Structure 1
Amino acid sequence: MKRLLGILLLAGAVTAQAQTADFVQIVPEYYLPKDVNFSLGAAALYLPKYKGSDEHRVTAYPLFDGQWKNGAFFSAVNGLGYNFSKIQGLQYGLRMSLEAARDESRSTKLHGLGDVNTALEPGAFLNYSFTPNYSLLSSLRYGSGIDHNGLQISLGGRISTALNSQHRLSATIGANWANSAYQQSYFGVTPQQSLASGYAQYTPTAGLTDIRLHASWHWNIDTNWSLTTGASISRLSGDAAKSPFVFDRTPVTVYSAASYRF
């Protein structure tokens, strides 16, 4: 109970700033050592100040991860959800994910555009693994944006390989599609925002927002401690890339995370 309480407190600390991953990537239940598995840690990130920014910031977040053999999971990366599948290689279920806030005060280039608050996104996921090293990934998330009616659909694939018992390399490629409500919230400029910011009015339509490549190195230091270091590069596409306050269409994020498994 104390461990669970600690995880819930950390979840509250993360909620205001961070966001969950596009894809759910949980450990298959037959690899879980216990019925209930917990880990705690912290991550340091170097990332753009907002989507399309050419300015970067350094920040740190607490990490938490809980996974149950019955299919439930709760983590800073995967969100809160349940995997209904009992078939080896197949994962599908529901989850609650998080879309991070975009604060106007974060960059002078956002002044006049207003804030976009943190949003909870109910959604679903479906993953299929051909082998432990090759997987297809997909997710659907709804509820982001100013009016909480943004829809995102992500499709991708993951490949990983173990160098030895302690080191593993992984790479994920994904494409993200969003509806017009999401596009308007994060890349559009309304008439009121145009007057306040000086940017030309802009109304993006639904479409592909970006293609993302992510690579990471995972090191199991011992039976409890692990370290993961990685980087991702995105290529903004379509109407998202044409936004008047997008100054870098190929943003890069670098991170390192340490965790302790109980």
Structure 2
Amino acid sequence: MRLRVSTIALAAGAALLSCAAVPAFAQNASDAPPAENVLDGDYLTVGVGAVYVPSYRGSDDYIVSPIPLVRGKFKGVDINPRIAGVALDFIPDDKDSGIGFSLGPVATVSLNRTRRIKDPVVRAAGKLDPAIEVGVSAGVTKYRLLHDYDSLTLSADVKWDVNGAYGGMVWSPAISYTTPLSPALVAVVAVSARHVDDDFARYYYSVNPAQSAASGLPVYGAKGGWDSANASLLMAYDLSGDVRDGGLSVFGVANYSRMLNDGKDTPFTALRGSANQWVLGAGVAYTF
């Protein structure tokens, strides 16, 4: 059985569930495996958690938000969670090859600045429409990098807004390293970034004359580019003592994101928020 983590995004609680459902292996021969590894076949993991996140991207005000999460595998298709979305992997891996590949569709919903904007000035600039983002997720994983049970994954999501909100494209490359620390405990460290096009930047980071008049913020014209870089630490612990036998687990996540370029320089961040963004979260999951 392999170890893999999905692409890490901002508010990385969804990625954490993807590792919470992954089997940690015994570190020595004296650790007996369970009678049945539920993750060898079809399985489903459902979870719920809460994350402490900025009220919008670039905000220095924070809110607590629930996150329902689902991960699993059905007839060789991996179901991987995303924040407010899901990605599918249609490429089965050879468990003994040492290399795995992933490819499939991804769909998410972006609610940035659509609700719960705590800053009254930013709120006066007006709420935005939700974006429905659809695209492709792909990656390659090297198994048994430093020992028999770890993995290194390079991956990326490329998505387009099909709901007419910003109407553009974003893509997010990521590198993640997954390792079991015991049969019950899995750790993941990851770095990622996001590149946005001009349509995205204008929608979320520009301040047009009408928004300026309503909020008092200066007019600002944003352009596309790299808008953020992220680093995450993710951990999951199986309460039965072995993630391979399914059941209940708990997880926690800490994510730091630095806004870049026009994502940092927009008045929504530079004047009313902060380029330093933190996400802290925890939750429970059940695998069967």
* TM-score calculated relative to the size of structure 1: 0.82
Distance change (3 Å), C-alpha of 1:109 and 1:21: farther
CA distance in 1, matches of 2:93, 2:219: 50
- Matches of 1:22 and 1:150, distance apart in 2: 24
Q: Does 1:238 align with 2:261?
A: yes
Q: Is the 1:97–1:120 Cα contact (8 Å) retained in structure 2? A: yes
* Superposition pairs of residues 1-262 of structure 1, within 5 angstroms: 32-35=39-42, 37-71=43-77, 73=79, 75=81, 77=83, 79-88=85-94, 89-103=100-114, 106-107=117-118, 108-131=120-143, 132-143=150-161, 147-222=165-240, 223-246=246-269, 247-262=273-288
- State the 1:220 CA deviation: 1.2
Structure 2: tracts of 5 or more residues without a match:
1-10, 23-36, 95-99, 144-149, 241-245
Measure the CA separation in 2 of the matches of 1:216 and 1:136.
17
Contact map agreement 2:259 2:276 (CA 8 A) in 1: yes
Closer, same or farther in 2 for the Cα pair 1:180/1:199, shift >3 Å? same
3-state DSSP of counterpart to 1:32: helix
Note the C-alpha offset of 1:25: 5.7
| In structure 1, C-alpha distance between the alignment counterparts of 2:261 and 2:15, rounded to whole Å | 19
Find the residue that maps to 2:268 and give its secondary structure: coil
Amino acid aligned to 1:181: D
Deviations 1:10-56 (A, max 9, x none): xxxxxxxx99969996879x983332x22222111111111111111
The one-letter code of the counterpart of 1:244 is P
1:72 to partner: Cα distance? 5.1
Cα deviation for residue 79 of structure 1 reads 2.9
Query: Which stretch shifts more, 108-117 or 164-173?
Result: 108-117
State the shift of 1:243 in Å.
Answer: 0.5
- 1:176/1:211 contact within 8 Å kept: yes
Cα deviation code 1:147-180 (max 9, x no counterpart): 3413111112001221110011111100110001
Q: Which has the higher contact order (CA 8 A, sep 6+)?
A: 2
Task: State the 1:125 CA deviation.
Answer: 1.1
Structure 2 CA distance for aligned equivalents of residues 169 and 70 of structure 1: 25
SS class of match (2:124): coil
Tell me the SS of whatever aligns to 1:241: helix
Indicate how the Cα distance of structure 1 residues 171 and 153 shifts in structure 2: closer, same or farther if over 3 A, else same: same
CA contact (8 A) 1:146 1:185 kept: no
**Counterparts of 1:114 and 1:173, CA distance in 2:** 32
Larger Rg over CA atoms: 2
Identity %: 21
Amino acid at match of 1:82: L
Deviations 1:180-223 (A, max 9, x none): 11111211111111111111111111100000001111101123
Shift, 1:92, TM fit:
1.1
Residues 74-104 of structure 1, C-alpha deviation per residue, up to 9 Å, x if partnerless? Answer: 6454834432323441111112222224236
What letter matches 2:133 in structure 1? Answer: E
Would you say the 8 A contact 2:134–2:162 is kept in 1?
Answer: no
Rounded Cα–Cα distance in structure 2 between residues aligned with 1:258 and 1:125: 26
Contact 1:65 1:76 in 2 (8 A): no
What amino acid does structure 2 have at the position aligned with 1:228? F
Aligned partners of 1:130, 1:149: CA distance in 2, in Å? 35
Question: Which position in structure 2 is the counterpart of 1:15?
Answer: none
User: Once structures 1 and 2 are overlaid, which stretch shifts more, 63-72 or 127-136?
Assistant: 63-72
- Provide the aligned length of Structure 1 versus Structure 2: 243
AA in 2 matched with 1:165? P
What value does the CA root-mean-square deviation take over the aligned residues? 2.8
User: In structure 1, what is the Cα distance between the partners aligned to 2:286 and 2:93?
Assistant: 29
